[in-house]
Amino acid sequence: MSLIKNNVSIVIPVLDEQESIAELYNWIKKVLEISNLQAELIFVDDGSIDDSWKEISKLAIIDNHIRGLRFTRNYGKSAALHAGFQICTGDVVITMDADLQDSPDEIPKLHRMITEEGYHMVSGWKKIRHDPLEKRIPSKFFNWVTRIFSGIKLHDFNCGLKAYQNRVIKSINVYGERHRYIPLLVKWSGYKKITETVVVHQARKYGVTKFGFERYITGFLDLLSVSFITRFRKNPMHFFGLLGIMSFMSGFGITLFLIVDKILNQYYGLPTRDVVDQPIFFLALVALIIGVQLFLSGFLAEMVIQSSPNKHDYQIEEEIKLNA
């Protein structure tokens, strides 16, 4: 089989991994030679404070298939992936971490699943993880919650080893800490052929993990944010308006009940209380005010979208033109 120019792009975010870069490069090159694939390697230095960029620069001198980007400071993994996605040229785009915990031996299988089986995205599943227990248990809970929210049946949303069709990664915008939810972004961009495959997870060989416990808190907040933005960014009135109507009708219903109850008690000569003397009246008043505010928020958001130049934001996959 003859080599195909850049049929694979491998995007590798790097943060203080100087010890592993050369070893990872040699491992990837060995796999590519055996599988008869040719790839561009895109290292994105996310503001490393060690000599990671020097290691990348050394490799780029000896291999013209290496591309490097260096951030002025640490912007996060999402920014690194996004920057790499913007410049990659391969038909298949594969991402992996630089810490040697993702095995390059998985590259041929991921490439085959994209090119031959037609998947839009393939996510790695670290079925057997070489991580401490305090990291594995929160991760299982996080993945369970994400499956419930997204409806995507993946076991490991945050695995760094993933593969995509090029057109897929060009259609999504990864920012903040949204790299954990790339499968959601892919699905809501219209690409639903998403699957997973079991991959080998290596024990960390050099350095220490760059992620702390706080990522699970921010991760859950990001899940809510991504879910809201992807579902309601084009029709915010569907969200704010529905909540506003529910709140307003609850307050209105309670107020009406209090008024009717007082009138009936007076009619039948029963003891009565002023409506404003009942605490539930003030809860109803708050619900009415909140309902109006939510409805106005949805209305204003709709006006902002209508004035936005990207209000017709959609993806065209293919086009058939008339013959001249």
pLDDT single digits (tens) 78-104: 899 999 999 999 999 999 999 999 999
Asked if residue 122 lies in contact with residue 197, where contact means CB atoms within 8 angstroms, the answer is: yes
Report the C-alpha gap between 167 and 190 in whole angstroms: 12
Average pLDDT over residues 27-50: 94
Q: Report which of residues 13 and 132 the model is more confident about.
A: 13
Tokens at residue 281, please? Answer: 């009246």
- Distance, CA of 237 to CA of 48 (rounded, Å): 43
Q: Return the number of other C-beta atoms located less than 10 Å from residue 54's C-beta.
A: 13
Q: What is the dihedral of CA 272, 276, 280, 281, to 10 degrees?
A: 120
Torsion of the alpha carbons at 135, 137, 142 and 144, rounded to the nearest 10: 150
Torsional sign, CA 195, 200, 205, 211 = positive
Which DSSP symbol is given to 268? T
Quick: pLDDT tens for 114-126. Answer: 999 999 999 999 9
Q: Which pLDDT score, from 0 to 100, does residue 4 have?
A: 43
Distance CA 96, CA 74 (A): 18
Per residue in 200-232, pLDDT (tens digit) is 988 877 766 655 556 666 666 666 776 676 677
pLDDT-derived band of residue 136, with 50, 70 and 90 as boundaries? Answer: confident
* Band (2; pLDDT cuts 50, 70, 90): very low
Q: What is the DSSP string of 217-239?
A: HHHHHHHHHHHHHHHHSS-HHHH
Average pLDDT on 131-144 reads: 75
What is the average pLDDT value for the chain, to the nearest integer? Answer: 85
When pLDDT is averaged across residues 166-174 and rounded to a whole number, the result is 91
Q: What is the mean pLDDT of residues 290-317?
A: 75
